[in-house]
């Protein structure tokens, strides 16, 4: 940016003004995962984006996963990772490791990284004040939970005090049971409960593609009513199905828009929220 003159800098800020005004004081839920969570350069870009958005008055809620870190810890204790239909089978030992990794090291690492970028963050989990309550999703998945309730009061309180809530997705069940929750699903439900302006899912692809092997076939916008047709045509398939379903669920529950963006692109969050270009596929 050293070679950009002041007139261009001013023009960039003026172009961003309508979007700053649109989101000022509004809640934006960002689900953080994928390559952007493991690549140091991308990680720094995400943290700086979040701090910038918070600084200009956007209420950012950061919901994070941690699959690679959980896999790494399970490997260290010689426990095999088992997946059933794309979801991690979670027994009692595994859920203890999930809780340790997500609520402990990973969550606090993100809080520290936001602080390093002069952000004011607080680490929370679905267990705090029973923010997320769940029941067992399926016997085949063990302690994987289906969300039954979101209590967003602690998130609102954190935002009102000027903090960026950083939320790990484990949930409380009956009799002290802890459940592992899919982070995309949790982000969508939290966004709906908070009447968010936008839900942003960071992924490792450009968005929804007409041809999954060609990024130039990106579909920039999809209406909720179009989703069944796109599934029938095989355009929405594989791992994109649960992500699109989460976006649709959020919109149906009152979120203004949901968007799947390419987390491999530095500052893709800013490109999506503060420019007219966008950075992925929007579900409206």
Would the pTM count as exceeding 0.85? yes
Polymer length of the chain = 284
pLDDT at 175: 86
Confidence check: pLDDT of 17 > 70: yes
Structure tokens at 249: 């669920």
- Residue 59 CA to residue 234 CA, distance in Å, equals 36
Q: 270-279: per-residue pLDDT in tens?
A: 999 998 887 8
**What structural domains and CATH numbers belong to the chain?**
25-283 (3.40.1160.10)
Residue percentage of the chain with pLDDT more than 70 = 98
pLDDT at 45: 93
Residue whose token pair is 């994928």: 34
pLDDT at 44: 93
Structure tokens at 111: 């809080």
Q: 228-264: per-residue pLDDT in tens?
A: 999 999 999 888 888 999 999 999 999 999 999 999 9
Structure tokens at 15: 């172009």
Please give the DSSP secondary-structure letter assigned to residue 128. Answer: G
Mean local confidence (pLDDT), 125-140: 95
Cα angle: 164, vertex 248, 84; to 5 degrees:
90
- Residue 252 CA to residue 73 CA, distance in Å, equals 37
Q: 159-190: per-residue pLDDT in tens?
A: 999 999 999 999 999 888 999 999 999 999 99
- Residue 12 CA to residue 4 CA, distance in Å, equals 11
Residue percentage of the chain with pLDDT more than 90 = 74
- Residue 233 CA to residue 193 CA, distance in Å, equals 32
Rama region for 185: left / alpha / beta (φ>0; ψ in -120 to 50; rest): alpha
Burial class (CB in 10 A: 0-12, 13-18, 19+), 51: buried
In the structure, what pLDDT confidence band is assigned to residue 61 with cuts at 50, 70 and 90? very high
Confidence check: pLDDT of 55 > 90: yes
Confidence check: pLDDT of 39 > 90: no
In the structure, what pLDDT confidence band is assigned to residue 2 with cuts at 50, 70 and 90? low
Please give the DSSP secondary-structure letter assigned to residue 13. Answer: H
Confidence check: pLDDT of 1 > 60: no
């Amino acid at each position: 940016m050293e070679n950009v003159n002041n007139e261009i800098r001013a023009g960039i800020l003026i172009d961003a003004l309508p979007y700053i005004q649109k989101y000022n004081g509004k809640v934006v839920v960002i689900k953080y995962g994928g390559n952007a969570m493991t690549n140091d350069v991308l990680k720094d870009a995400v943290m700086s984006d979040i701090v910038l958005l918070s600084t200009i008055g956007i209420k950012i809620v950061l919901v994070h996963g941690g699959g690679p870190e959980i896999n790494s810890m399970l490997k260290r204790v010689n426990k095999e990772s088992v997946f059933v239909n794309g979801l991690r089978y979670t027994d009692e030992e595994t859920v203890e490791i999930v809780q340790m990794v997500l609520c402990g090291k990973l969550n606090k690492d993100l809080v520290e990284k936001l602080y390093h970028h002069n952000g004011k963050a607080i680490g929370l989990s679905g267990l705090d004040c029973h923010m997320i309550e769940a029941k067992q999703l399926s016997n085949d998945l063990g302690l994987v939970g289906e969300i039954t309730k979101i209590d967003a009061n602690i998130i609102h309180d954190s935002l009102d005090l000027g903090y960026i809530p950083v939320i790990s997705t484990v949930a409380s069940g009956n009799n002290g049971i802890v459940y592992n929750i899919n982070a995309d699903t949790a982000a969508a439900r939290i966004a709906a409960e908070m009447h968010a302006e936008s839900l942003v899912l960071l992924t490792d692809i450009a968005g929804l593609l007409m041809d999954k092997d060609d990024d130039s076939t990106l579909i920039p916008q999809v209406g909720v009513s179009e989703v069944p047709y796109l599934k029938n045509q095989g355009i929405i398939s594989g791992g994109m199905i649960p992500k699109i379903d989460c976006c649709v669920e959020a919109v149906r529950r009152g979120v203004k828009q949901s968007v799947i963006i390419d987390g491999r692109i530095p500052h893709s969050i800013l490109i999506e929220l503060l420019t007219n270009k966008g950075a992925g596929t929007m579900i409206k």
